[in-house]
Amino acid sequence: CVGENEYATLKASANKEYLDFVLDGYKKKGVTPVTKACKNYPKCFENINCPPPVIYCKGDVSLLKAENR
């Protein structure tokens, strides 16, 4: 889930063809980049020092929002 704003920023700062190539590669492999701006970014990461700006996920990214009980 690369948000529209993030995509626009990346697109403006990078070669569009290369960016599309990279994102298409992720998609073909079933990998979803989840950024801090995405709704599925885990809230628990907000409480750690230096959380990853991007998590590369395979499978159901909505599980990132699931709380352990």
pLDDT digit string, tens, across residues 41-55: 898 888 888 888 889
Q: Which residues pair with 31 in a beta bridge?
A: 58
Note the pLDDT of residue 2: 61
Determine the Cα–Cα distance for residues 28 and 67; give it in Å rounded to an integer. 29
Determine the Cα–Cα distance for residues 50 and 14; give it in Å rounded to an integer. 25
Place of tokens 């395979």: 58
Residue-wise pLDDT tens digits, 1-50: 566 677 677 667 767 787 788 889 999 999 999 988 888 889 888 888 88
Residues present in the chain in total:
69
Note the pLDDT of residue 30: 94
Lowest mean pLDDT among 21-25, 56-60, 62-66: 62-66
